[in-house]
Structure 1
């Protein structure tokens, strides 16, 4: 499980690095309700951690696509 989480964290970091260096990337504000939910989520199990990373990955891809 830890390998899966590490791989996802690495993918998120690569996405963050790519968008940081992209001159055409226009950052978008993530809705406050989504941001608050992500920030206040309590991770108590490995399944929660996996679900949280999937949510962050989805938010990152939406932000990167500009939609």
Structure 2
């Protein structure tokens, strides 16, 4: 996965793409989803923390479904 600073990331997003915020906890992973203007993020839900590969696949599926262009 490529890493960018916020200015670079914003320039690489296509119009209408959103961002997924990740808040990893000991037992759960909190997710937030930005609006398309990238001004506001709202809670999306939580995942039960498990194996990295499984959690990464779940987050990738959510990002694809919600039209996210970055994390």
Task: Judge same fold: TM > 0.5, yes or no.
Answer: no
Whose strand proportion is higher, 1 or 2? 2
Whose helix proportion is higher, 1 or 2? 1
Structure index of larger Rg: 1
Q: TM-score range by the shorter chain?
A: 0.3 to 0.5
